[in-house]
Each structure stands twice: as structure tokens, then as C-alpha cells.
Structure 1
């Protein structure tokens, strides 16, 4: 494997600049987008919400579709999909499965017999996923999709409220700072005439 390809793969899993600086960079990118607070919040929320579904490889496309439907910003949607990454997917998918299992009448967790069944299914799949077809993973996939829907709605709502609040405050602070630096640009007070 070429060094360039390896570096790109590594940077997608763990950014070279570190997670804290990468998060700060993404936050600044979102704050400086030239869209309305609603468009930015809806875009980021769309990208984050679709990360709850086990559709790896389709999150960008689904984020763009949801952002379009909610009149969100497409760049913000792409940034929002960063919420789903190789470090967070195991937690999201486990939670999606638990919620889906609970919604379909299961206990919301994995019992000992289900654990043995999943272990046997995993061993079976490792020896012939392509020979068995999609039917072998369909029950688990369906449960995760069912559980992913309420989680996506919750994540969308939380991200929308937080991002819209932060963007609105950031713009108000930036506008006030600009007015303090450039008092000559203030509108002259209109005098009232009778």
C-alpha cells in the first residue's frame, strides 16, 4: 500500500492534528458558513442524525437529502456526518440495535440465548456471508434501522437546538465587536419631525 493512501486512511480514523484541534477546526468552519442560522443548524443536524443508521458509505448522500428536505446547508451536512466515525459507530449501532429490539417487543438488551445465537450467526457469517446473501444479516439490519429512526430524530433535535443557539450567539457577538471597532459605520439616529 502506498504511503499516501495509508496516511489518508489514518487521517480519516484519527486526524493528524488530534481530535481536539480537529473538533475546534470543524466548529470554526460551521461558525463561518455564510448561511442562515436555521440552514447551518439543519445541515449539521441532518448529517449527525443520519449517522445513527447502519448505512456506512451512504451517510453523506443521506445527510444531503435530509438537509435538502429541511432547507439545510449542504456543507454543514457534510460536517455533521463527522459525528459518525469509526470511533463512534460501535456505540451508535449497539444503541440502535438495543432500541430497535425494545421497539419490536424484545427486551432492549441481549439475553444469554440471543448472545449465543449472535455468536453462532457471526461464526456462520464469517464463513459465508456472500454465499448466504443479505438474508443472513437482514434481521439484525432491520432491528438496527428501526432503532436508528427514533435515535436520529432525537439527535436531529438536540443538534439543531444547540447549533442554532451557538451560531446565533456567535453572530451577535461578532456583530457587536464589529460595531465597537467601526463606530463610523453606525446608522445615524433619525430625528423625528412633526
Structure 2
């Protein structure tokens, strides 16, 4: 009963979650490729956005990424696209990685989080005990993502533009058909 095939919607787009995510990732990829600007600026913007997207600053990912790209003179649109790496599907995995890395750096142990005292001050303190390693780990993981994201994005943008240039060279714009 729960194994039926899903019918495509009226516009022909599949309604299955896997197909929607695949489509979303493809659109994100195409957005990156079609951004204007020097490949280096697009790549740095993307790297900035991804780095910010890997930190636990969730309501501010987009704003922080665009602001930092603006300050550094890099592609603000690429930073906005890159910050979308943090989405509801990937966030639990990103935050777990951030927390584990931060836990290793800060030395905050899980045993200190298991207190039975639920007073306001204890709960607020527990929040900091969770957020601090999460933030430290997010900064480290985000920083480590900058270089690979930069080079990967730059390579993809350059390849796309070269292929596009070759395709356009093959088209004869001088012949007029009426």
C-alpha cells in the first residue's frame, strides 16, 4: 500500500522527496555556474557562504555570508547560494560534526550535560555548554571548507564557461535567415 509510484504533478515535476532534492541540487548547481563575475570572485563568494553555512548561526547564514562577501569584495550572490548548504536535511549531520570537533577542542564532556537540575540558570548554562563547542567546531569546520570549496567552485565555473564559449563559437551568428 505505501509502495505505489508517485505520479508526476501537473507541471511534470515528480513529487517524491528524492526527486525534489535532486532537482533542488541541480538548480543550485546551475545558479552557481551562471553567476556573473570573475571565476575567482564567484569561487571566493561560494567558499565564504559555505563556511558561514557550516556554523551554528542559523538565522543569520545568508546575512553573514553576504555581508562578509561584501566586506571582502567577493560575489555576494555566490555567498548567498553557498550559505544554503545548511538546510533541514543536512543540518543534523553538520551540527553533529561541528559539536564533535568543538568538543574535542574545548574539552566539554557529555557527562557535564546530564545534570538533573533544571533551574533557569542551570538550563541556560547547559545551553552554553552545548553551543560553545558547537560554535568552536563550526568555525573550525567552516574554515577547513574554504580552500576545497574555492578550488572546486573555480574549476567548475571555468569548465562551464569554456564549454559555453566553445558552443557559442560553433554557432554562426552571421548567417541571416528570413
Give the TM-score category using the shorter length: 0.7 to 0.9
> Is residue 151 of structure 1 aligned with residue 141 of structure 2?
yes
What TM-score, normalized to structure 2?
Answer: 0.77
Q: Gaps (5+ residues) in structure 2?
A: 1-15
RMSD: 2.7
What TM-score, normalized to structure 1?
Answer: 0.71
Write the distance in 2 (CA, Å) between the matches of 1:85 and 1:44: 16
* C-alpha contact (below 8 Å) 1:41/1:161 kept by paired residues: yes
Alpha-carbon spacing, 1:134–1:61, altered in 2? closer, same or farther (3 Å)? farther
Larger Rg over CA atoms: 1
Bigger CA drift: 50-59 or 16-25? Answer: 16-25
Q: Which residue of 160, 165, 173 maps to 1:175?
A: 165
* C-alpha contact (below 8 Å) 1:52/1:92 kept by paired residues: yes
How do 1:100-179 and structure 2 match up within 5 A? 100-105=102-107, 114-120=109-115, 124=118, 131-132=120-121, 134-179=124-169
Write the distance in 1 (CA, Å) between the matches of 2:147 and 2:124: 32
SS in 1 for 2:57: coil
> How many aligned positions are there?
159
* CA shift digits 1:44-103 (9 cap, x unpaired): 111111122111101111111222244221111111111001111111111111111212
Alpha-carbon spacing, 1:59–1:15, altered in 2? closer, same or farther (3 Å)? farther
Question: What is the match of residue 7 of structure 2?
Answer: none
Q: Which residue of 39, 43, 47 maps to 1:45?
A: 47
Runs of 4+ in 1 over 3 A off after TM superposition: 14-17, 114-117, 131-136
Q: Gaps (5+ residues) in structure 1?
A: 1-13, 107-113, 185-194
Write the distance in 2 (CA, Å) between the matches of 1:116 and 1:146: 19
